Amino acid sequence: MFYIHNVACISAQNSFAAPDLGTLVDCSVNKMVAIEPAYNMPANMARRMSKTVRMATGAALSLIDGFKPDGIIMGTANGSMVESGKFLDQIVEFDEDTLSPANFVQSTPNNSGSQLSILTNNTNYNVTHVHRALAFENAAIDAAMLLRENPANTYLLGAVDEIAGYNYNIDTLGHWHKKEDITAATLYSTQTPGSIPGEGAAIFLVNNKSEGARARVHAIEQVHTTDEQVVKQRFERFLSTHALNDRPILLLSGENGDSRLQHYYDICESVLPVTTTVARFKHMTGEYPTAISFAVWLSAMLLDGSIELPAHAIKEQGEYINHNSILIYNNYKGLQHSFMLIGKA
């Protein structure tokens, strides 16, 4: 599909600039809050940005200093819900009169891509995919289609979501968050409904050139279903199509500690080769719709040897320590499932 060249990630772990995942950063009041770095932009500009825009632009600017990509492709489920809430509050407070346009402008999901375009004077292709938990996957497919049409181009691909009061409260009422106090290290041992909410941004420079690439995205597949047998059949077909039954792979599992969703992961793991190493990542990020973008960042960093897989991420160690192929399976709220295959460049 395409090659990943440069990467940046802002998450609840020390993943930006000089990544260090060896020491697990714990959650704060049952939230995995992103660790924001010192951004390479004027402080007054950063203060005016919503957290979503700040994370996305801050990560992206670290990759494209002096370089203008041929397009900016973002994925997000919620955009900046904080700014949306502020704008709606203003409608009530000021009786639909003398409203500030700033909150409205920053409330749109495409604001991150738009701000990047303005900051870098980039008038090329610019689109934001808003498909709930499959937003990043659709953004990646968009990038692959564009590269098929324009083989010489390079695109900025990314995803971002934040913990906003609005969606946090809605998901709490929907019982998607743990009721009990929990730590990142004990997330998978609770056996109760719900997970830890999280947030973050992951940005990639992608093109068709293998030279100097960190990793290659080989395939992406999406499934909409609540039937675990359908998920199993599609997973088995994905393994067969890409000959993953005959070589050692690392599975990055999107397990999030929610006991209601564990059967999806268990049934997929049951059909994997016995040599497979299984690792998990959502104790590092928390659960949010585009968390799979962190797994893609982690895969690229592992495959080019920039970091090692931390011991706290390993669920089951297979026969092989080094892997040339990483398979990601993610599931959001038991409805949206995706598989991504990433290999060495």
| Helix 262-269 with 228-241: angle, nearest 10 deg | 40
pLDDT of residue 174: 93
64 CB-side CA count, 13 A: 27
What confidence score (pLDDT) does residue 86 get? Answer: 65
Rounded to a whole number of angstroms, the distance between the first and last alpha carbons of the chain is 12
Cα–Cα dist 219/95, whole Å:
50
User: Which residues of the chain are under the pLDDT cut of 50?
Assistant: none
> Per-residue pLDDT tens for 187-233?
999 889 999 999 999 999 999 999 999 999 999 999 999 999 999 99
Phi-psi region of 203 (alpha: psi -120 to 50; beta: other; left: phi over 0): beta
According to CATH, where is 3.40.47.10 located in the chain? Answer: 2-207, 215-344
Q: pLDDT tens for residues 32-85?
A: 999 999 988 888 888 888 889 999 999 999 999 889 999 999 999 986 666 666
Q: Which two tokens stand for residue 125?
A: 């292709």
d(CA 18, CA 96): 47
This prediction has a pTM of 0.93
Query: What SS3 string covers the chain?
Result: CEEEEEEEEECCCECCCCCECCCCCCCECCEECCCCCCCCCCHHHHHHCCHHHHHHHHHHHCCCCCCCCCEEEEECCCCCHHHHHHHHHHHHHCCCCCCCHHHHHHHCCCHHHHHHHHHHCCCCEEEEECCHHHHHHHHHHHHHHHHHHCCCCEEEEEEEECCCHHHHHHHHHCCCECCCCCCHHHHHHCCECCECEECEEEEEEEECCCCCCCEEEEEEEEEECCCHHHHHHHHHHHHHHCCHHHCCCEEEECCCCECCCHHHHHHHHCCCCCCCEEEECHHHHCECCCCHHHHHHHHHHHHCCCCCCCHHHEEECCCCCCCCEEEEEEEECCCEEEEEEEEEC
Which CATH number among 3.40.47.10, 3.30.420.10, 1.10.1200.10, 3.40.250.10 corresponds to the domain 215-344?
A: 3.40.47.10
Q: Is 236 exposed, middle or buried (0-12, 13-18, 19+ CB in 10 A)?
A: middle
Alpha-carbon distance of 6 to 154, in angstroms, equals 11
pLDDT for the residue 80: 65
Angle, helices 51-61 vs 111-120, to 10°: value is 40
CB crowding 264-275: b at 16 or more within 10 Å, else e: bbeebbeebeee
Specify the CATH number of the domain 2-207. Answer: 3.40.47.10
pLDDT, position 106: 62
